[in-house]
Structure 1
């Protein structure tokens, strides 16, 4: 793409000198230490489990899984490169959270370095570049993006995003076609990591403005067409993904005028937290409505936004730098100001990850002007700057410590928003993870009091927890309460009947269970999970033909339903259709390479066809996938005993007994008396 070179307003910096490189090294070292608590952090109960712990597609590099990554949505998002990066971490460290946290921190360090080089391309001052880099590296608002494993998408898409901007800044100087192509490819990689990258074409225009390119020339406009087309396509995909996961709010309680007010509130709050990062939280609730209208105090945020924009526009008379910073911030954050309502919260710290650079640019330019204009107070001004940076570093360290485990995270949320039911809901699930059922139930009670409109959801969640600890009577009571409060027009009510029916099945009350599934079937959406759960119910009731019909239907609706393949294999096993059962076991394992129960069942099937050595290996694979699967230890012990390989038999039997396997207790005692 050979075009006339348009000289920018700002002279480009030469290669940084040794002192500048040393300063950048210090920035990266300080940033690493500020985030070091994350290296000992655990997986959180907030998205880390579905993204990593229970995500079968990251567990094995295969064409099958890679195809799924690039052709399916993941939890309401399309970000295949993010999932691929998690696959790399799984290959390196399985489920060791330290590996994932280390990758996030390394990406953040890379992003911090890219900030330095990008700013150097846009402004010749090493001081401005260093200030932007250290603010980006050390700011506490970035902790959510860096220390939350599920937010890998933030640090990854930013890496490609900043790199693309760096190539583009160089392209504006040299006009090399290769640099333009690199920019376009890096934009593609960024947008395949997170859809928020669709803002990049707007930032390219902001750079054109800063560098005084002829923005409305044919050449400059034609350059942007591929970027805007790509942004449009992937923006539509992102909306489809959000709709598919029902993340886009329906029946929005706020009208469009109120949405403008809320967007102004979020806009100003992001700015305030970037300048003074106090009271950071993992969640930020919407304001409570005062009657039919938003509280009037929030209207002042519209005025504050207009005043800020006016001041920046006034500054154009003296410099383009401030408007560039505002354009950078606004263009990259406008997508998440909840004008299109997505999710349950009005703000999120992670949304400020890239936009923060626009604010840091303004701070850095202002700091340099102050130091230059008040040279007699330079020592004092620089001293205040270092104190501010030290406070940021301490804040990041403390915030990283807060994100080490979910209970401390949600305790902080409850402390900051004691009237917000969702904070208690999230803490309740964290308490269950820590075996604090009493505390979890208390939190659910608080949810029910604070948020009467969503009683059905809270009763349903509590019922699920009771069922998981085998308190089936308590679970039935809570599911019945949930059904009482549920909106019968919502699909969610269907899942309540399904779950209650599954609890009845655990109590062997099959008539009541089938009655609940019949009620659930009357709802407009009957999905794969419905047929899976009813198929399991038929299986437990000994109705194998009906079970096969439903499990076949579940697989037809979701070809990746590993549990449907597994339970159909169980039916075939009971019907002595060994080869069909083996086929389904293998398919379940293909979908999830760590599916312990499927390995265990395959081992039993291999015993049936007298492939004993293969069965021993398969039982070992089951134990490797789930060291707590008691039945696999017993099956391996029994087979070894039958083959006369008695060396490890008692060890396996004792482990099976320790893990709760009692079905063959008399035989186990006979073989291993002690």
Structure 2
């Protein structure tokens, strides 16, 4: 019920490039070239509903509901109770921090890898408890593979399953499953490494300074503290958690907090409270794929907290159970308050994700110093035609991150649109310097030069772009525009025809060509 509103949200952020503007969306052959669970389900959603967002949202919601059910049965088998597992599943189901993964279409990898990882764990538990015979281990291997095919972050389940085996199984039985787990990991090691390596390149472009390393002695305690705060007080949720403030005093506090969690783990082990310990393991190790010392992800993002939310739900449920054993009315009041608060905040958060026009203002309100939030606000104002506001937002984005290539190019393009070609040319030069191999930025710089009637300079830039990408239609379109400015309609038509030879489906170029031919 709390996610019902999310079904009717539109395409936002990464959804647009992955679906709306992706020419290969729905192409099954292309999807199967590098198959992922998300890619296959997105293709299926496109076949069923085209560009209707509800078909894509259903994927996420079904996986989330499936995970809730799996959580209930996993902890029912581990605790031999029904009330406590129901409480754990309920808290996980409605906690606001999971909203991003559930209602954002591009959050599909997080809900799917978690679902298949939990399904694998459930099968292993049923084999351990002799509910299923040992041959069903093959099914666990298969579902583990589906988790890998969902996201490279599923490697967290390797560690979680290994610790589960160490806690709950005999050495001989654990050895059998350990061999199966490691075999599956080795089988997927190469594709996972390929994804990981590509992720490193994508997250560390050369124009932004190349590969960035984090200090884990700062990164990990700051991140864990921030996540705990978001779990306990899920009020200021935002798409971008870019600014993570700390000082030596706060860092000491974070170290004490992290040390306390590790000490708690030791105490739980000594007291053989293995179920609670498993929850703590899921909470901490669930973050491990995103807390590596090399930048491959944001330090903090709410979608990364989807799997760890299970661990938090376990811990909170045991606290509530402690209250239940001492004061039934206290438990009822506390649980009712939590359910109402979490449900209300989750419903509110689903409204933030309804569209770009709701997401980015909500993000900027919580993260006003986020360069990405300000850039996206600039795009909102630009689409509305408020160029002055758009310019302010793009300038703010560059202020917070001077090497923000997207914002620099957007501001340059906006200046060009506003007739400020000199300022646009400077910004395009800056963008081109940050990424000299980008044909788009070279062409944009050339267009600014054309507006300033610097045709020799523009021609030189366009020839440079053509050498980089001989099949770029935007280069020939720009050449056509330049020759038209020079009064050479024949040459302009020739350039546009070359562009259409490369890609006959370019509607804007077709219109330009038709206009030029109508002048003959």
- Residue 242 of structure 1 is aligned with which of 199, 203, 221? 199
Q: Is the 8 A contact 2:88 2:314 kept in 1?
A: yes
Aligned counterpart, 1:609: none
Q: Tell me the C-alpha RMSD between the 2 structures.
A: 3.6
Aligned counterpart, 1:550: none
Q: Is the 8 A contact 1:205 1:215 kept in 2?
A: no
Q: Distance in 2 between matches of 1:35 and 1:217?
A: 39
Aligned counterpart, 2:17: 50
Aligned counterpart, 2:486: none
Aligned counterpart, 1:622: none
Moved more, 454-463 or 393-402: 454-463
Taking the TM superposition and a 5 Å limit, the aligned residue runs for 1:83-98 are 83-98=39-54
- Residue 352 of structure 1 is aligned with which of 299, 305, 311? 305
**Deviation, structure 1 residue 571:** 4.0
**Deviation, structure 1 residue 411:** 1.9
Q: Distance in 1 between matches of 2:210 and 2:150?
A: 29
Is 1:142 the equivalent of 2:87? no
Aligned counterpart, 2:166: 209
Aligned counterpart, 2:353: 403
Taking the TM superposition and a 5 Å limit, the aligned residue runs for 1:409-420 are 409-420=359-370
Q: Distance in 1 between matches of 2:405 and 2:314?
A: 47
Max Rg structure:
1
Aligned counterpart, 1:69: 31
**Deviation, structure 1 residue 494:** 6.3
Q: Distance in 1 between matches of 2:250 and 2:5?
A: 38
Q: Distance in 1 between matches of 2:167 and 2:224?
A: 22
Q: Is the 8 A contact 2:79 2:275 kept in 1?
A: no
Aligned counterpart, 1:481: 426
Is 1:334 the equivalent of 2:288? yes
Q: 1:228 to 1:448 in 2, by over 3 A?
A: closer
Q: Distance in 2 between matches of 1:322 and 1:496?
A: 54
Q: Distance in 2 between matches of 1:528 and 1:245?
A: 24
Q: 1:201 to 1:82 in 2, by over 3 A?
A: same
Q: Distance in 1 between matches of 2:376 and 2:216?
A: 26
Q: Distance in 1 between matches of 2:353 and 2:452?
A: 40
Q: Is the 8 A contact 2:203 2:296 kept in 1?
A: no
Q: Distance in 2 between matches of 1:527 and 1:198?
A: 38
Q: Is the 8 A contact 2:240 2:370 kept in 1?
A: no
Partner SS state of residue 124, structure 2: helix
Q: 1:316 to 1:245 in 2, by over 3 A?
A: closer
Q: 1:505 to 1:195 in 2, by over 3 A?
A: farther
**Deviation, structure 1 residue 401:** 1.0
Q: Is the 8 A contact 1:486 1:493 kept in 2?
A: no
Q: 1:119 to 1:229 in 2, by over 3 A?
A: same
Whichever structure has more helix as a proportion of its residues is 2
Aligned counterpart, 2:475: 534
Partner SS state of residue 300, structure 2: coil
Taking the TM superposition and a 5 Å limit, the aligned residue runs for 1:267-306 are 267-287=224-244, 296-306=249-259
Q: Distance in 2 between matches of 1:40 and 1:466?
A: 36
Partner SS state of residue 129, structure 2: helix
**Deviation, structure 1 residue 277:** 1.4
Structure 1 spans left out of the alignment, 5+ residues? 1-32, 60-64, 73-78, 548-565, 573-583, 586-594, 602-629, 636-660, 666-674
**Deviation, structure 1 residue 410:** 2.0
Is 1:458 the equivalent of 2:404? no
**Deviation, structure 1 residue 265:** 1.0
Taking the TM superposition and a 5 Å limit, the aligned residue runs for 1:188-267 are 188-214=145-171, 218-247=175-204, 251=209, 256=214, 258-267=215-224
Partner SS state of residue 307, structure 2: coil
**Deviation, structure 1 residue 82:** 0.5
Aligned counterpart, 1:512: 457
Q: Distance in 1 between matches of 2:65 and 2:434?
A: 49
Aligned counterpart, 2:487: none
Moved more, 333-342 or 226-235: 226-235
Count of residue correspondences: 509
Q: 1:359 to 1:166 in 2, by over 3 A?
A: same
Q: Distance in 2 between matches of 1:162 and 1:342?
A: 24
- Residue 82 of structure 1 is aligned with which of 31, 38, 48? 38
- Residue 68 of structure 2 is aligned with which of 112, 121, 128? 112
Taking the TM superposition and a 5 Å limit, the aligned residue runs for 1:612-651 are none
Q: 1:217 to 1:157 in 2, by over 3 A?
A: closer
Aligned counterpart, 1:422: 372
Aligned counterpart, 1:368: 321
Moved more, 498-507 or 268-277: 498-507
Aligned counterpart, 2:269: 316
Q: 1:49 to 1:295 in 2, by over 3 A?
A: farther
Partner SS state of residue 240, structure 2: coil
Q: 1:302 to 1:503 in 2, by over 3 A?
A: same
More contact order relative to length (CA 8 Å, sep ≥ 6): 2
Is 1:501 the equivalent of 2:457? no
**Deviation, structure 1 residue 243:** 3.7
Q: Distance in 2 between matches of 1:288 and 1:363?
A: 27
Task: Give the structure-2-normalised TM-score.
Answer: 0.86
Structure 2 spans left out of the alignment, 5+ residues? 484-489
Q: Distance in 2 between matches of 1:253 and 1:66?
A: 34
**Deviation, structure 1 residue 284:** 0.3
Taking the TM superposition and a 5 Å limit, the aligned residue runs for 1:512-661 are 512-518=457-463, 526=468, 531-538=472-479, 541=483, 568=498, 570-571=500-501, 585=504, 597=507
